[in-house]
Chains A and B, each alone.
Chain A
Amino acid sequence: MTRILLYFSLISSILFSLAVSAQLPAAAKRDTIHKAILADTTHKAVVDTAKKMGIPLKDSSWYIPGGLRIGVDLSRIVSAIYYPYRKEVTIVADARINSNLYAAFEGGYANTPHSDSTYTYKGNGMFVTLGVDYNFLKRQYPTEKNIFYGGIRYGFSHFNYSVPTYSINSPYWGDHLSGSVPKTNVNAHWVELLVGLKAEVLKNFFMGWNIRERILINSVKTDEITPLVIPGFGSGSKRAVFDVQYTISYVIPFYRLKEHAPKVEVKQKKIPKR
C-alpha cells in the first residue's frame, strides 16, 4: 500500500512538472504580445495628443545669430575713377530684427567737383538712407547667414553747390559773358527699391552686390542751374536712376535671436455634409 502511494505521488509530480513546463512558454508568449500591444497603444496616444492639443515640443525654439553688419561700397571707387565729378564714400550697415528681416542703413559723403572750358562747379554733401531688407533665401541650417534679399529705402541728402565761374560765348557777336552762381543749399528726398545678395565668404565676413532703382521725390532743378550730382542719389537731372553696389562687410555678432519652430498645421479631414 505504501509502495502504491509512492508510485502515485511520483507519477503525479512528473505530470505536474510537465504540465508547468508546457504552460510556461505559452504564458511568456502571451505576455510579449500583451506588452507590444500596450507599447504601441501608448505611443500612438502620445503622438496624437501632442498634435491635436498643439503642445510645443521640448526643442521647438533655438537661437539664431544676430548682429550688426557694417561695410563699405566698393563700386564707389570705380565710379570715382570713371566719373571724376562724383567722389563718394558709402558706408552700409544692417542689423537683424528677426529670422528674415533686417533694418538697413546707408550713409556717406560726396564731393562733386567739375571743371571744363565753359564752367567750373563745386559741390559736396552728405546722405543717409533708412529701410528694411527681407531675406527670401530658405536657410539650409538655422545658423546660415547668407541672404538673398529685396529691400526698400527712404533716402535723404543735404548738399550744396556753386558755380564759381561760367562763360557764355557768342561766335557771331564775338563776345563772351562771364558770371557765377552763388553757393546754394538743397535737400533731396528719394525712395529706392533694391534686390541683391550677401554671402558669408569667411566667418562673419561678407561680400555682396545689389542692384537698385532710385526715384526722386522732390525736384532740385532751378531755372538757373541743375546740380550735377545729388550725393547718394546720382544724376541731378534725372528723376529715376539705376545703380549697382558691391559691398564688403563684417558682422559683429553681439546678440542672438530666439527663433521658434513654425507651427505645424494639422489638416483636418473634411467630413462631407449629409
Chain B
Amino acid sequence: MKSIYQILLTCFIFAGFIACENETKVCDQTLSNSLHIHFSRDSQGIVRDTIMPKVTAFALGRDSIYKRQPLGNLFFQLSPVADSSQYYLKVDSALVADTITVRYTRTKHFISPGCGFGTYFTLDTVIATRHTINDLQINNKSVISSNDTHLTLFFFNQ
C-alpha cells in the first residue's frame, strides 16, 4: 500500500513538471500562408483543372520562385512590408508573360510564444494582364493558410 502512494506521488510530481512546458522554446505551428493560385481552363462552359508546361514566376525585382516547371498550382509569398505585390508569370516558353498585381491589407498575428509574430493578409483586388490569362476569380480573400485556394486563373484555350 505504501509503494502505491509513492508511485502516485512520483507520477504527480512528473505530471506537474510536464504540464509546465516552456512554451517560448517550442515553435510547432509555423505560419504558412502563401497566396495559393490554381490554374484552370474554361472550355465552352466546362471548367477543367490544367497544368501549364513550363511555368516561370517571380516577384518583380526578386529571385525566381519557379523556373520552367510544369505546374497546376502556384504559391506566392506576399510582402509583409507593402500593401501590394507584383508577380511575373510565364506559363510556357513560347507564350507572352503576364503580370499579376495583388492588393491586400495586412494584420499582424501572434502565432505562438515560441514562433512569435506573423502577418495575415486580406485580399482586396487582383489585376492581371490578359496575354494568356482569360479571367481570374478570387476564391478566398482571407490569406491565413496555404491549404486554401485563394485565386483561380483561367487561361485561354490554345
Which A residues are closer than 8 A to B by beta carbons? 75, 79, 82-83, 85, 114, 116, 118-119, 166-168, 170, 172-177, 179, 211, 223-226, 228, 234-235, 237, 241-244
Contacts and interface: CB of A to CB of B under 8 A. Distances in A.
16 contacts: A79-B20, A82-B17, A82-B20, A82-B22, A83-B22, A85-B24, A85-B113, A116-B116, A118-B117, A175-B80, A176-B81, A223-B107, A224-B109, A228-B23, A243-B16, A244-B16
Interface residues of B, number: 29
A211 B14 CA distance: 11
Interface centre among B107, B109, B110 (most CB of A within 10 A): B110
Contact of A119 (B23, B63, B65, B117): B117
Q: Is the interface of B mostly helix, strand, loop or mixed?
A: mixed
Interface of B: 12-13, 15-17, 19-20, 22-24, 59, 62-63, 65, 77, 79-81, 107-110, 112-113, 115-119
A237 B23 contact: yes
Contacts of A228: 23-24, 113
B117 A173 contact: no
Given A168-B80, A223-B107, A177 B119 contact: yes
Given A119-B116, A235-B23, A244 B13 contact: yes
Which residue of B13, B17, B19, B107 has the most chain A CB atoms within 10 A of its CB atom? Answer: B19
A242 B15 contact: yes
Nearest to B65: A172
